[in-house]
Structure 1
């Protein structure tokens, strides 16, 4: 997975999420945090696609992928770090829960579910006008 792929997927995720995407502009902390959040999610999505493609390309029967943080960990070259966002799938469950790694001990990760975003009243002046391209 390359940084160009991560940025392209993060840009699309930001569009879907309704956030502006400014990959080269780092004025203010908020834009960097939004960008990093979508980059983390993009890395998880690309890693899942890479695992799927590798499983499809492998000849013969394949072993089931393990559930838990190992299944959603970043690519093999990237170690799992405290503060990273992973997608946890509980055993025998269809849910996918975005979680942040709080601790790493003895080959295990302590995961804390990411809270849903709280969006309330915002000033209309802070919202960009909707163009015809955005409506389609």
Structure 2
């Protein structure tokens, strides 16, 4: 059974090395576990969608909740799915540096990434839009 989980968190250390460490670990671990997804990071906030088997996704989310590199972890959306939306990525990263701020304004009151201020459905729609329009780093 495939599921999709969407969550957000705040980075404890927002330095480039810390963020790259999280991405590298995801890209190493996720293919073995059959997990795919996309990560959006900006202004100290992570917005991540992970897809895969129910147990694998649940285990990964539990690990993220205990990870000292994250704080304020919030579950935004969880659903059973018939197919993956981000199946082409072991963990793709949206490059917010190449993002038109109008895209963020389309989904929120301010041109900034703040999944805490919008619904899970809105956050997922933003990720889909970003995947379609923004530069994606680390596609495979």
**TM-score of the pair, normalised by structure 2:** 0.28
Larger radius of gyration: 1
Of structures 1 and 2, the one with the larger relative CO (CA 8 A, separation 6+) is 2
